[in-house]
Amino acid sequence: MSDRSENDSAQAVSGGRVQAIQAVRGVKDVLPDESPAWQRLERICRDFFARYGFGEVRVPVFEVTQLFARSIGEATDIVEKEMYTFEDRNGQMLSLRPEGTAGVIRAYIQSGLQRESLTRLYYLGPMFRHERPQAGRLRQFHQIGAEALGSESPALDAEVLVLTADLFDSLGLLDGLSLEINSIGCPACRPRYTAALKGFLAGVAEHLCENCGRRKETNPLRVLDCKVESCRTHTTAAPEIIDHLCEGCSAHFSQVRTHLSAAGVAYAVNPRMVRGLDYYTRTAFEWTSSDLGAQSTVAAGGRYDRLVERLGGQSKPGIGFALGVERLLLLMDETREDPPHLFCALVGDEAEVAMVPVLRQVRNAGIRVDRAFEGSLKSQMKRAGKSGAAFCLIVGGDELARGQAILRDMAKRDQREIPLAGLADAVCEIVKAADA
Ligand SMILES: [Zn+2]
Ligand SMILES: [Zn+2]
């Protein structure tokens, strides 16, 4: 008798059948009924990025762990608790990227692009964080993001914000979203603010959650966006960064606002919005939806004038943002995949062989063709109806003998005979005329 362990997935057997292996918890397959919405979102984003002078960069999904520790910050939840970090076979510590900016900036420095005066890059792809999965939050999730590097002009901040507003408008989502902005200062003015905030937090320390008890020393700004009720209520009187900005930051923020107003983009200033990542300076922003519950942020970003330097590059200012693809898709209307133009119902080996060159020619003419590979004529016709195809081409032994094929117009429920000689050309012509 074998002593088979049920945990041995390769050998596990239940009721005589091998047990199917499930996807990892918190990840999701995108199947063909959903992928048209993904493709539409990606297409519209690519189009907007091109209009604003952004070029696509494709960076690896894993990097040395150090890159994220240095850019995102050691004392952040992402680096401390959420990254997928592992030692590879050479003993090097690597992490799956938890966000896109760090890798893009690494590539910007390494490639020499940092020598250009202005560089605009966008990216899209999967990110990885070991968080508790819930609606709109997965362990492999997708972001579309952009980084504009080389200028600290407030006009650039405003242009990036206008891009996001028009992008959401074009996706039909703008009405349900709100934009909040803030300035979180610079290395000249933020330490003064941080000191004031630490002083305030020390006075309410007993009311803070365990996380904030720690963060009030390591990352006090983060206490301001803690979701725990007692942290919220006891920090309502906390000092606001907007009152501590230096002259340069204050003028910068006011210019961003002037440009946004000139563009007619609606926004609100939220002095408590501080962003989770250490490397942000000056402008910070978030687009949120009221239709998504707790995971309401659909896009977030801001300026990071010190990041390039911090990662070993030149001193280059920059601003960027990322969109959460899964969350945006929850808000977007379902778009169905395009149905086939033509379904082929073929009965018998002879008909199948005779139609090989025809199907090939029709598909090469750009026509979407679906077909069955088994079943009676009746069951194939049923599938033709379900497929949503406009036409059905029917060929069996009788048709071959007559030298004719039948082309059925599925909507009009009528059919005609077409000679086998020149069949592909005739089908192409009819299908294209109907599709025009
Ligand atoms: Zn400042
Ligand atoms: Zn808290």
Where are the chain's structural domains?
A: 35-189+245-331, 342-435
pLDDT cut 90: percent of the chain above it:
80
Among all chains, which residue has been given the structure tokens 């720690």? 214
**What pLDDT, on the 0 to 100 scale, is given for residue 134?**
82
Rounded to two decimals, the pTM is 0.85
CA of 196 to the centre of ligand 1 (A): 15
Among all chains, which residue has been given the structure tokens 């340069």? 248
pLDDT confidence bin for 5, thresholds 50/70/90: very low
Closest ligand to residue 222's CA: 2
Closest ligand to residue 211's CA: 2
pLDDT of residue 15 exceeding 80: no
pLDDT of residue 252 exceeding 60: yes
Cα→Cα distances 406→186, 242, 390, Å:
73, 74, 14
Q: Tell me which H or E stretch contains 128.
A: strand 119-128
CA of 309 to the centre of ligand 1 (A): 17
pLDDT cut 70: percent of the chain above it:
95
**What pLDDT, on the 0 to 100 scale, is given for residue 421?**
95
pLDDT of residue 396 exceeding 90: yes
pLDDT tens-digit series, residues 73-104: 887 788 989 999 999 999 999 999 999 999 99
CA of 255 to the centre of ligand 1 (A): 14
DSSP letter (8 states) at residue 134? B
**What pLDDT, on the 0 to 100 scale, is given for residue 2?**
44
pLDDT of residue 417 exceeding 60: yes
Side chain identity at 68, as an amino acid letter?
A: F
Closest ligand to residue 212's CA: 2
Side chain identity at 401, as an amino acid letter?
A: A
Asked whether 199 and 288 are in contact (CB, 8 A), the reply is: no
Beta bridge partners of 94: 64, 86
Closest ligand to residue 215's CA: 2
CA of 108 to the centre of ligand 2 (A): 36
Instruction: Report the C-alpha gap between 197 and 179 in whole angstroms.
Output: 25
149-188 burial, b if ≥16 CB within 10 A, otherwise e? bbbbbbebbbbbbbbbbbbbeebebbeebebbbbbbbbee
Asked whether 371 and 346 are in contact (CB, 8 A), the reply is: yes
pLDDT confidence bin for 274, thresholds 50/70/90: confident
342-435 homologous superfamily: Anticodon-binding domain (3.40.50.800)
Closest ligand to residue 187's CA: 1
CATH 3.30.450.40 fits 35-189+245-331, yes or no: no
pLDDT tens-digit series, residues 297-354: 999 999 999 899 999 999 999 999 999 999 999 898 766 678 999 999 999 999 999 9
CA of 218 to the centre of ligand 2 (A): 13
pLDDT tens-digit series, residues 179-207: 999 999 998 998 899 999 999 999 999 99
Closest ligand to residue 226's CA: 2
CA 332 from chain centre, in angstroms, equals: 13
